[in-house]
Amino acid sequence: MQREILRDLRAIGCGIKKHFDNSQIKKEFERVSGTHGWVILYLAENRDKDIYQRDLEKQFGISRSTTSKMIAQMEQQGLVGREKVASDDRLKKLVLTEKSRELAQKAGEDRMMAVRKLTKGFTEKELENLSDYLSRMRDNMKN
């Protein structure tokens, strides 16, 4: 059973990759790595909150040094900026640039198309269960 689960998860991942590789907005994202794209979407989805480097580390399960390098690259590409926080001069929240906000909107629309394709025919209860199962699997892989 475990082999089938891994095979199925891999096949789903390949299908998702194929969807985005064939996406009409792919050309606009050619200079944006996959991870940078996920970060842009995360920041866009949480635009009403202050997001810091440590939040990305936790959300994406990556090290402090990797996150720091990634943010520096994204700043160089004009995808994110850092702004001081009034409550603590040591902290700098991450903010999207106009360029990345436009990309996020288009990518969000494309992502919703992929989600609809993936979950076609699922009931609301099945989607809740799937979300729970995937969350547990993700937690299991952290150990």
In the chain, where are the structural domains located?
Answer: 2-141
Average pLDDT over residues 68-90: 93
- Decide: 75 and 92 in contact? Cβ < 8 Å: no
pLDDT of amino acid 125: 98
| Residue-wise pLDDT tens digits, 83-92 | 998 888 889 9
Using the predicted structure, report yes or no on whether residue 137 has a pLDDT greater than 80.
Answer: yes
70 has a pLDDT exceeding 90: yes
Location of structure tokens 């909107």:
105
What are the tens digits of pLDDT across the range 110-126? 889 999 999 999 999 99
Mean pLDDT in the chain?
90
Burial tier of 20 (Cβ tally within 10 Å: 0-12, 13-18, 19+): middle
pLDDT at 19 over 70: yes
Written as six digits, the tokens of 108 are 């969000």
**Residue 85 has what DSSP assignment?**
E
Predicted pLDDT of residue 1:
60
Higher pLDDT, 30 or 6: 6
**Nearest one of 61, 43, 44 to 52, comparing CA atoms:** 43
The share of the chain scoring above pLDDT 90, in percent, equals 64
pLDDT at 2: 62
The band of 46, judged by pLDDT with boundaries at 50, 70 and 90, is very high
The CATH topology of domain 2-141 is Arc Repressor Mutant, subunit A (1.10.10)
